[in-house]
A and B are shown apart, each in its own frame.
Chain A
């Protein structure tokens, strides 16, 4: 069993709470760095996909998990990030090092623009407003055909990184490392956010707007900032997604992607960085896993190839229902329980994570 010994109150601010933490996370990072040497190019591509989804998930997590605002429109910001990144490179000849952060910035600004009229909305109404934004962006992509290529889509150029050309099919490892680097930076930003005043303001807005206001937090502005940071990260994920896919159209970033993103972080565990990664693993590997089982069943029982349309969505839906019913904290919650079980062995009790009922809430002002 690990016991956290603090020798100074100042320790609370450290990035790693524990030397063990530091050791394991550095080990994990080194393992991820070495991954391309150990597995096939195809699998490197799959892992890149996981990282990109996790990046998008972290973006949405800041909004949903930290600030408590629902969004069903994050595919729109994937699209904005993706299109602006490629257009800046192809039409304006900017190098990737400039177009990529700019794509994030543009996406973030679009998020703030959306936030200004919608921050007064709550829950389901906010979800509907963001859903509408998602649909509008899809239409705009079709209408703005001269720059976006309309329904025939756009090709992502090769990434030019300081004279070194990266194409994800030619050199999957290089693209993987690029993605890993971006993900690492965003994870650091996310961690920093959580231990700084802005992150606490997000949590305050999530848990009680009325007392956040009484603590001197400008609720509307905090929500807008949260939207901005969230959509900027999602935009970066979108830019990488464009390079990963090679070609994309208005259909690539449809409403289903928005919903998948939201479900992904719920399954992974809302409110934690781990949750974004766990969810991304499920979303990225579920189709592979299903086709593997399909082939296996087909071969073992000599049924030939089995095709069941919509199987993926159905299985994903079942997983979601399972988590909402039995593990609202998602895969990360399961992981926490497992870890506690081992740490406390044999003293773990079943009700350790049971939630208490909340007390009365002050009447809402709106």
Chain B
């Protein structure tokens, strides 16, 4: 059984069909990439999995259970974490606090014990702190621990956002353009991290990415989308050489246009 099954999902905004009858399975332990030109519906698919939108038709099944009966704030509890294309961090909070928000799904204490800061709350908080430190270690965020997000450079913010998603301790991680706006070196770091998440932490990754080098180096399977429709699915090289994909990106060749 696949970890995530997207079954014939369609989403319309008025007359615009953003996602048109898309189906794919993400197997446990693989890195699955979604590629396609702008407006292909990649981020919309992410928002569907995050339950920000309700699909018009179709079903999304995670771990054998339909996501559609869960409200959006339940998705993290099921073990699905995500990052955003345009970084959505908590700006007026420190890096540490941002990462700790990721631990929210492990909150067992209630409002009253937290107001009193009972020993149970303190114990849980120290546990959260230790877990978050592991993420900081993994992503080399040590110099920024107590810095406010509002003053951090773009590249660091991207990493903090990935860290916050990791703090959720997810089974499935949705990365929305993890390398956009990053330098070549930073993109290489992302590639190493994605490898490590897959191999050491056993996290399944679904990723939207435009950088084909990154996609080719880390992903096991790729799905190409265009105008909300599925174009091709397979290994990175299969998809890159698929005629329909080439046409979507650079247009049909002259011979075909004549014919």
A197 touching B116 by the CB < 8 A rule?
no
Q: Is A343 an interface residue (CB 8 A)?
A: no
A197 in contact with B90 (CB, 8 Å)? no
Residue picked from B71, B91, B168, most chain A C-beta under 10 Å: B91
Set B109, B129, B168: member contacting A216, Cβ < 8 A? B168
Among the listed A203, A212, A360, which residue makes an inter-chain contact with B97, where contact means beta carbons less than 8 Å apart? Answer: A203
Secondary structure call for the B interface:
helix
Residues from 143 to 168 in B contacting A, C-beta threshold 8 Å: 150-151, 154, 157, 164, 168
Judge if B27 is at the interface, Cβ distance under 8 Å.
no
Indicate if the CB atoms of B109 and A213 lie closer than 8 Å: no
Q: Does A184 contact B (CB under 8 A)?
A: no
Of B72, B86, B105, B125, the residue contacting A213 (CB under 8 A) is: B72
Task: Determine if A208 and B102 form an interchain contact, defined as CB atoms under 8 angstroms apart.
Answer: no
Q: Which of A173-217 contact B (CB under 8 A)?
A: 189, 192-193, 195-201, 203-204, 206-208, 210-217
Chain B residues within 8 Å of A362, by CB: 84-86, 88
Per the bound structure, the CA–CA distance linking A216 and B74 in Å amounts to 6
Expressed in whole angstroms, the minimum distance between the Cβ of A352 and any Cβ of chain B is 10
Binds A, one of B75-83, B194-202, B234-242: B75-83
Distance of B212 from chain A, by nearest CB (Å) = 23
B72 closest partner in A (C-beta): A213
* Residue among A196, A199, A201, A360 having the largest count of chain B Cβ atoms under 10 Å: A196
Return chain B residues, CB-CB under 8 Å to A9. 129-130, 133
The answer to whether the Cβ of A358 comes within 8 Å of any Cβ in the partner chain is: yes
Judged by a CB distance under 8 angstroms, whether B87 is at the interface is: yes
A300 at the interface (CB under 8 A from B): no
Once the chains bind, are B73 and A218 in contact (CB under 8 Å)? Answer: yes
Contact with A along B89-133 (1 / 0, CB 8 A): 111110011001111110101010011110001100110111001
The chain B residue sitting closest to A225, CB to CB, is B111
A359 sits at the interface (CB 8 A): yes
Flag whether A2 is at the interface (Cβ < 8 A): no
Q: Does B52 contact A (CB under 8 A)?
A: yes
Residue from the set B73, B82, B100, B164 with the largest chain A CB neighbour count within 10 Å: B73
Interface presence of B10 (CB below 8 A): no
B88 close to A196 (CB less than 8 A): no
Given A207-B90, A208-B89, are A200 and B117 also a contact pair (CB < 8 Å)?
no
- Assuming A197-B114, A210-B52, A359-B154, is B76 touching A215 (CB within 8 A)? yes
Q: Does A356 contact B (CB under 8 A)?
A: yes
Q: Are B86 and A359 in contact (CB under 8 A)?
A: yes
Given the known interface contacts A200-B100, A201-B101, A225-B111, the answer about A214 and B75 at a Cβ–Cβ threshold of 8 Å is yes
Q: Which residues of B contact A208 (CB under 8 A)?
A: 88-91
Whole-angstrom distance between the Cβ of B7 and the nearest chain A Cβ: 22
Task: State whether A192 touches B117 (Cβ < 8 A).
Answer: yes
A215-B164 contact given A204-B101, A359-B154, A360-B86, CB 8 Å threshold: yes
Instruction: Give chain A residues whose Cβ lies under 8 Å from the Cβ of B85.
Output: 362
Q: How many residues of A contact B (CB 8 A)?
A: 40
A350 at the B interface (CB under 8 A): no
A58 close to chain B: CB less than 8 A: no
Instruction: List A contacts of B105 (CB < 8 A).
Output: 215-216
Q: Given the complex of chains A and B, what is the CA–CA distance between A244 and B104 in angstroms?
A: 41
- Nearest CB in chain A: distance from B110 CB, A: 9
A12-B129, A13-B122 known; A359+B87 contact, CB < 8 A: yes
Contacts of A216 in B (CB 8 A): 73-77, 104-105, 168
A219 within 8 A of B: yes
Asked if A196 and B117 sit within 8 Å, CB to CB, the answer is: yes
Provide the bound-state CA to CA distance between A178 and B18, in Å.
Answer: 62
Q: Does A198 lie within 8 Å of B114, measured CB to CB? A: yes
B163 to chain A, nearest CB (A): 12
A residues 330-365 in Cβ contact with B at 8 Å: 355-356, 358-362, 365
Closest to A196 in B: B114
Q: Are A197 and B107 in contact (CB under 8 A)?
A: yes
A302 within 8 A of B: no
List chain B residues, Cβ under 8 A from A275. Answer: none
Whether the pair B150, A203 counts as a contact (CB closer than 8 A) is: no
CB neighbours of B82 from chain A (8 A)? 214
Q: Beyond A203-B97, A362-B88, is A193–B115 a contact (Cβ under 8 Å)?
A: yes
State in angstroms the CA–CA spacing of A232 and B151 once bound together: 35
Residue B226 at the A interface, CB < 8 A? Answer: no
Whole-angstrom CA separation of A216 from B125 in the bound complex: 17
Q: How many Å lie between the Cα of A356 and that of B149 in the bound state?
A: 10
Interfacial chain A residues near B114, Cβ < 8 Å: 192-193, 196-199
Interface status of A279 (Cβ within 8 A of chain B): no
Closest 10 CB pairs of A and B: A216-B76, A207-B90, A196-B114, A211-B88, A192-B117, A216-B105, A360-B86, A197-B107, A218-B73, A189-B115
Q: A201-B104, A213-B73 are in contact. List 17 more A-B contacts (CB 8 A).
A: A9-B133, A12-B129, A197-B107, A197-B128, A198-B114, A200-B104, A203-B90, A203-B101, A204-B90, A204-B101, A207-B90, A208-B88, A208-B91, A214-B50, A216-B76, A216-B77, A358-B150
A-B contact pairs, 14 of them (CB 8 A): A10-B129, A13-B122, A189-B115, A189-B116, A193-B114, A197-B104, A197-B128, A198-B111, A198-B114, A204-B101, A207-B92, A208-B89, A217-B104, A218-B73
By a beta-carbon cutoff of 8 Å, the part of chain A in contact with chain B is 9-10, 12-13, 189, 192-193, 195-201, 203-204, 206-208, 210-219, 225, 229, 271, 355-356, 358-362, 365
Interface residues of B (CB under 8 A from A): 50, 52, 71-77, 81-82, 84-93, 96-97, 100-105, 107, 109, 111, 114-117, 121-122, 125-126, 128-130, 133, 150-151, 154, 157, 164, 168
